[in-house]
Amino acid sequence: MEQNFVIETSNLTKRYEKLVAVDKLNLSIKQGELFGLLGPNGAGKTTTVLMLLGLTEPTSGTCRVCGFDPFREPLKVKSLSGYLAERMGIYEDLTAEQNLMYIMKLNRIPENESRMRVKDALASVGASDYARVKVGKLSRGMRQRVGVAGVLIKKPKIAFFDEPTQGIDPKGKRELLDLFKLISRREKTTILLLSHMLHDIQQICDRMGIMINGKIVAQGSIEELKSKRGEEWVIAVEAKNISQKLLHELSDLEGIKNVERSGNLVTVECERDLRSEILEAFVQNKASPLDLRAKEHSLEEIYLSYLGEA
Amino acid sequence: MARTREIFLKELADNLSSKRFWLLFIIIYALGLFITYGALQGLELSRTGGEFVFLKLFLTGGQGFPSFLWVVAYLAPLLGFIFTFDTVNREISSGTLSNVLSQPVHRDSVINAKVLAGIVTVALTLVGVVFLVIGFGVLSLSTLPTLEEVGRILVFLFLSIVYLSIWVSIGLLSSVFFRREGTSALASIAVWMFFSFFFYMVVSLAGNTTLMLFSPTFLFIEAASVVLMPLVRILGPVSIEKLVGMLPNPLPLGQSLLLIWPHLTSLIAVTLIIFALSYMKFMRQEIRAI
């Protein structure tokens, strides 16, 4: 097994009675990578992480985290990694500081160092002012920050964040994502970000995987994922005087896959950028184009198309 | 035992600072005082004073007050499971359990710590209230308990803690088995009501009094009575042959202990069995919230 992968799974499977939550998952994540795992709710993302942490026993297959088998040596894996669950799991009747100190105690960090780390972690997530407030009284966004601080404070080699941006306002979300990026660059922490929000992952992740029904249907850098679905262009032209002849001519053009008309709008699907050729055809046929829009296949459509297939 | 101590201390702090603890604390301490007062009244009325008067404080009620033993047997179980009936499922539904378990701790540390914290909370409360009763007794009787009495009271205290440990683990068991806190509370209460009130009816319907031995409450009352009444020499059905030649003398503590040894071991065994069940269930449990 190569050492530069900090997370490696092979044919990892988890079955709950009839339901297959994770289906023969093969995933390799490199040291220092910011990997986004995208998928709808119930795709098996959380189950995967629970298996990586040794909190749930896999039905079959193996996984290794930093070279350890999480189910055989859970304590080693757990002390190297930090996990922020979807529900965060911080004690609401304790203050932020008490929560973090408790985590430090469970990690056998000496008292003096703990205090320093608590301060630093709360400062890095911008929650210093709320250190002595009971977590139950904090806003959802602030709680989330305390939760993130609870992961950072361990100085983990790998951090798992499960839907960390849920329920946070756009500004807070932005700050949180920037923070993840910063940690990944500065501390060389490997981060696995689980989300059903494509936008979050697209913003910061080096690589991503799309997980649907327990399977990774695509993985790679964002560019790779885009190119995997072909460089298809969809061009929409709004024009007056559209004739049948024009439509015929358009469909005869080389590289055109489909032409559709609805009212004044002609939508052309083509294999490459044929904008000028298309416009030319319009002008030659005395149709006057008013507007032309090219839609590049966005990652979102790719995601949706995978979802549609499933 | 990785990190059991830290989790235990946190759980204990949680228990002791919780509202339900203070609520019960006040009720139980007030009850303790009332009962002692009642017992003292009773003592004065019957003028039985003299021997083992401090034991009688725990054993006799008076003027409509129940005895201390009755309160421990029937009401204190509430104290036993009130701290544990939601200790696991609440942490699952709030997600804190997965946070704790994603720290380098063993899973069994969590459940061990929880049951220990429950037992210690109960023990602290009981010790407090028993000493309160003794102190109250010393003040009003203006005499000190003898060594024999102190020994018997300590044994009684130990018995009560063991008995309440059963209820602590019953609470734990229902918190492991039921996902909803409401359900687990009801389950614990149902078990408590069954053994406190309905079991007698079941036994009398069945017409076999030896069945009583299956009730921890009965076992406890029987054992505690032996400890608190040095005159008791025989338990269970008594035949004439056994009575022949028996001296109506109080037994020394050691002999009373021998008499209740089976009770004590069964009470401990029941605690361990119930705890083992919750332990097994907990170790294989899915910890994610639904």
Per-residue pLDDT band for B144 (boundaries 50, 70, 90) equals confident
Is A78–B105 a contact, with Cβ atoms under 8 angstroms apart? yes
**Phi–psi pair at A168, nearest 5 degrees:** -110, 145
How far is Cα of residue A81 from the mean position of the Cα atoms in its chain? 19
Tokens 């911080």 belong to which residue? A90
Per the model's pLDDT, the better-predicted residue between B153 and A225 turns out to be: B153
Q: In this predicted structure, what is the pLDDT of residue B200?
A: 86
Reading across the β-sheet that carries A207-212, which strands appear in turn? A81-84, A158-162, A190-195, A34-38, A207-212, A215-221
| pLDDT tens by residue, A248-267 | 888 888 888 888 888 888 88
Distance from CA of B98 to the nearest CA of A (A): 7
Look at residues A132, A129, A161 and name the one whose alpha carbon lies nearest to residue A144. A161
Tokens 């069994």 belong to which residue? B108
H or E element: which one contains A5?
strand A5-16
Chain B residue with minimum CA distance to A82: B102
Tokens of A239: 């024009």
| Spatial distance between the Cα atoms of A165 and A176, rounded to a whole number of angstroms | 8
**Phi–psi pair at B35, nearest 5 degrees:** -65, -45
Q: In this predicted structure, what is the pLDDT of residue A192?
A: 94
Asked if the model's pLDDT at residue B275 lies above 70, the reply is yes
Mean pLDDT for the stretch of residues A19-48: 89
Helix extents (H) in A168-234: 170-186, 198-204, 222-228
Mean pLDDT for the stretch of residues B92-119: 92
Tokens of A141: 């966004």
Which chain A residues are closer than 8 Å to B7 by Cβ?
A: 106
Distance from CA of A287 to the nearest CA of B (A): 59
Per-residue pLDDT band for A77 (boundaries 50, 70, 90) equals very high
Per-residue pLDDT band for B192 (boundaries 50, 70, 90) equals very high
Q: In this predicted structure, what is the pLDDT of residue A133?
A: 93
| Spatial distance between the Cα atoms of B98 and B288, rounded to a whole number of angstroms | 7
C-alpha dihedral sign at B278, B283, B287, B290? negative
Q: Do the bridges between strand A60-65 and strand A5-16 make them parallel or antiparallel, or are there none, so unpaired?
A: antiparallel
| pLDDT tens by residue, A261-309 | 888 888 888 877 788 888 888 888 888 888 888 776 667 777 887 787 7
Asked if the model's pLDDT at residue A1 lies above 50, the reply is no
Is B6–A106 a contact, with Cβ atoms under 8 angstroms apart? yes
Read out DSSP for A31-49?
Answer: TT-EEEEE--TTSSHHHHH
**Cβ under 8 Å to B: A residues 161-200:** none
State percent of chain A over pLDDT 70.
95
Choose the closest CB to A56 out of B6, B94, B286: B286
Cα angle B54, B153, B150 (rounded to 5 degrees) comes to: 75
Which chain A residues are closer than 8 Å to B99 by Cβ?
A: 83, 85, 88-90, 103, 150
| Spatial distance between the Cα atoms of B266 and B222, rounded to a whole number of angstroms | 13
- A270-289 burial, b at 16+ Cβ within 10 Å, e below that, comes to beeebbebbeebbeebebeb
Is A106–B98 a contact, with Cβ atoms under 8 angstroms apart? no
Chain A residue with minimum CA distance to B13: A94
Contacts of B242 (CB under 8 A, 6+ apart): B234
Per-residue pLDDT band for B45 (boundaries 50, 70, 90) equals low
* Residue type at B76 in one-letter notation: A
Is B95–A87 a contact, with Cβ atoms under 8 angstroms apart? yes
Which chain B residues are closer than 8 Å to A47 by Cβ?
A: 288
Q: In this predicted structure, what is the pLDDT of residue A310?
A: 64
Mean pLDDT for the stretch of residues B208-232: 86
Distance from CA of A223 to the nearest CA of B (A): 34
DSSP 3-state of B48? coil
Helix extents (H) in A133-273: 140-152, 170-186, 198-204, 222-228, 244-252
CA neighbours closer than 13 Å in the CB half-sphere of residue B246 = 14
| pLDDT tens by residue, A130-175 | 999 999 999 888 898 999 999 999 999 999 999 888 878 888 889 8
Mean pLDDT for the stretch of residues B180-195: 94
Per-residue pLDDT band for B61 (boundaries 50, 70, 90) equals confident
Q: Which domains are seen in chain A, by residue range?
A: 5-219 (3.40.50.300), 229-309 (3.30.70.980)
A37-51, A214-228, B190-204: which range is least confident on average? Answer: A214-228
State percent of chain B over pLDDT 90.
46
**Other CB atoms within 10 A of residue B117 CB:** 24
Choose the closest CB to A88 out of B95, B103, B104: B95
Top mean pLDDT of A179-193, B138-152, B217-231, B265-279 is at B265-279
Is B98–A108 a contact, with Cβ atoms under 8 angstroms apart? no
H or E element: which one contains A50?
helix A45-52
Which chain A residues are closer than 8 Å to B21 by Cβ?
A: none
Which chain B residues are closer than 8 Å to A55 by Cβ?
A: 98, 101-102, 287
Choose the closest CB to B104 out of A55, A79, A90: A79
The answer to whether A59 faces chain B, any CB pair under 8 Å, is: no
Is B98–A85 a contact, with Cβ atoms under 8 angstroms apart? yes
* Residue type at B271 in one-letter notation: T
Residue-averaged pLDDT of chain A: 87
| Spatial distance between the Cα atoms of A278 and A198, rounded to a whole number of angstroms | 32
Tell me the ipTM for this assembly: 0.85
Distance from CA of A274 to the nearest CA of B (A): 51
Cα distances from A218 to residues A14, A27, A28, B123, in angstroms, run 20, 11, 13, 58
Contact between residue B119 and residue B161 where contact means Cβ atoms under 8 Å apart: yes
Measured distance between the N- and C-terminal CA atoms of chain A, rounded to whole angstroms: 32
Distance from CA of A75 to the nearest CA of B (A): 5
Helix extents (H) in chain A: 45-52, 74-80, 96-106, 111-124, 140-152, 170-186, 198-204, 222-228, 244-252, 275-284, 299-309
| Spatial distance between the Cα atoms of A51 and A294, rounded to a whole number of angstroms | 44
Cα distances from A304 to residues A48, A229, A309, in angstroms, run 22, 12, 9
Asked if the model's pLDDT at residue A122 lies above 90, the reply is yes
Which chain B residues are closer than 8 Å to A85 by Cβ?
A: 95, 98-99, 102, 288
| Spatial distance between the Cα atoms of B83 and B89, rounded to a whole number of angstroms | 12
| Spatial distance between the Cα atoms of A145 and A60, rounded to a whole number of angstroms | 35
| Spatial distance between the Cα atoms of A248 and A252, rounded to a whole number of angstroms | 6
Mean pLDDT for the stretch of residues B40-45: 70
Top mean pLDDT of A1-15, A51-65, B263-277 is at B263-277
CA neighbours closer than 13 Å in the CB half-sphere of residue A278 = 30
| Spatial distance between the Cα atoms of B206 and B56, rounded to a whole number of angstroms | 33
How far is Cα of residue A152 from the mean position of the Cα atoms in its chain? 19
The answer to whether A150 faces chain B, any CB pair under 8 Å, is: yes
Distance from CA of B77 to the nearest CA of A (A): 26
| Spatial distance between the Cα atoms of A99 and A95, rounded to a whole number of angstroms | 6
Mean pLDDT for the stretch of residues A205-231: 81
